[in-house]
Amino acid sequence: MRKKGLTTHIILFILTVVSTLIAGALQKGINILEEPWRIIEGIPFSVSLLAILLTHELSHFFASRRHHTHATLPYFIPAPSIIGTFGAFIKMKSPIRTREALIDIGASGPIGGFIVALVVTVIGLAHSEVVTLKGSEVGLLLGDSILFSVLTKAVLGSLPEGKDVMLSPVAFAGWIGFFVTSMNLLPIGQLDGGHIAYALLGEKNHRKASIFFATILALAGIGRLYLYSSFFTGTPFGVLRDYLWEGWAVWAFLLYMLGLRHPPVLFWEEPLDRRRRFIGWLSLLIFILTFTPVPFRMG
């Protein structure tokens, strides 16, 4: 069973390496069917993205081991998408004992992945290109988090009117890393942010926070679709649609389906020390800095 389980992890990881290599090559305009040998040009993107995801999941894994909580090695999910993967996850196979363990396990992944994403983003932005916008061009545009905007300005300077940044594949991987970090840090259910909120706030307040934030996401997604109505075009309400993303409705639905409750820890009475509380609030700061209200839009 252990060999079979390990084989599954290895096969999924290898498939994800291949799918992210393909995604990285496609981002550079390479036709893999006609020039399959050029798949190696997807290495910068693949290595950058997998480094972020692997650091995130292994941080969870080793934090779990440190607190005697049984967890699997990461399962990677290959996918035929623009990034080549649906991410990775580990499965917890025993209950978490204390709130301190909950903070360590919940926060270790986002913080570890965030640090790698920060390095990847700075390197990637240094190799990105400032281009002139053309009004006739239509394509997928990426939104900016607070931190990504600050880093872009620090590395590339202020952009003149009519200019934008063409992200290098490495910078795109860093952007994805920030996006994944913020999504995991939403204080909802059993997401990483949900673990942290449960440890800091307790069961009742965690439940309230989960319902509140899941509802906000749902309203933001539904509101975006509703404001597309011609009735709102040209009105102040119509302008709001540029600050909303319909994908939040899907994300909220998935979170409701997965459940907003959090299982109890075994020894709740053991208090949190100052360091764990600091880590919890540091995670909140990282969430604020990396959250992107409108991650994707057509322009």
Rounded alpha-carbon distances, angstroms, from residue 227 to 68, 242, 243, 248, 253: 50, 10, 11, 15, 20
How many whole angstroms separate alpha carbon 273 and alpha carbon 30?
52
Tell whether the model's pLDDT for residue 231 goes beyond 60: no
pLDDT at 152: 96
pLDDT at 136: 52
- Assign 248 a pLDDT band (cuts: 50, 70, 90): very high
- Assign 21 a pLDDT band (cuts: 50, 70, 90): very high
Tell whether the model's pLDDT for residue 5 goes beyond 90: no
What does the pLDDT average to over 142-165? 91
Q: Please write down the HEC assignment for all residues of the chain.
A: CHHHHHHHHHHHHHHHHHHHHHHHHHHCCCCCCCCHHHHHHHHHHHHHHHHHHHHHHHHHHHHHHHCCCCECCCEEEECCCCCCEEEEECCECCCCCCHHHHHHHHHHHHHHHHHHHHHHHHHHHHCCEEEECCCCCCCEEECCCHHHHHHHHHHHCCCCCCEEEECCHHHHHHHHHHHHHHHHCCCCCCCHHHHHHHHHHCHHHHHHHHHHHHHHHHHHHHHHHHCCCHHHCCCHHHHHHHHCCCHHHHHHHHHHHHCCCCCCCCCCCCCCCHHHHHHHHHHHHHHHHHCCCCCEEEC
- Assign 4 a pLDDT band (cuts: 50, 70, 90): low
| CB within 8 Å of 72: residues ≥ 6 apart | 5, 9, 61, 90, 91, 93
Mean pLDDT over the full length of the chain? 90
278: its two tokens: 């600091």
Helix 274-290 crosses helix 192-201 at what angle (to 10 degrees)?
140
Q: What percent of the chain has pLDDT over 70?
A: 90
261: exposed, middle or buried (Cβ count in 10 Å: 0-12, 13-18, 19+): middle
| CB within 8 Å of 97: residues ≥ 6 apart | 67, 68, 69, 265, 266, 267
What number of other Cβ atoms are within 10 A of residue 119's Cβ? Answer: 15
Tell whether the model's pLDDT for residue 154 goes beyond 80: yes
- Assign 253 a pLDDT band (cuts: 50, 70, 90): very high
pLDDT at 200: 95
Vertex 210, ends 207 and 213: CA angle to 5°? 145
Among 125, 111, 133, residue whose Cα is nearest residue 62: 111
Q: Is the pTM of this model over 0.75?
A: yes
- Assign 220 a pLDDT band (cuts: 50, 70, 90): confident
Tell whether the model's pLDDT for residue 1 goes beyond 50: no
Tell whether the model's pLDDT for residue 20 goes beyond 80: yes
More confident residue, 243 or 174: 174
pLDDT in tens, 177-194: 999 999 999 999 999 999
pLDDT in tens, 74-115: 999 999 989 999 999 999 989 999 999 999 999 999 999 999
Tell whether the model's pLDDT for residue 228 goes beyond 80: no
More confident residue, 299 or 154: 154
Tell whether the model's pLDDT for residue 242 goes beyond 80: no
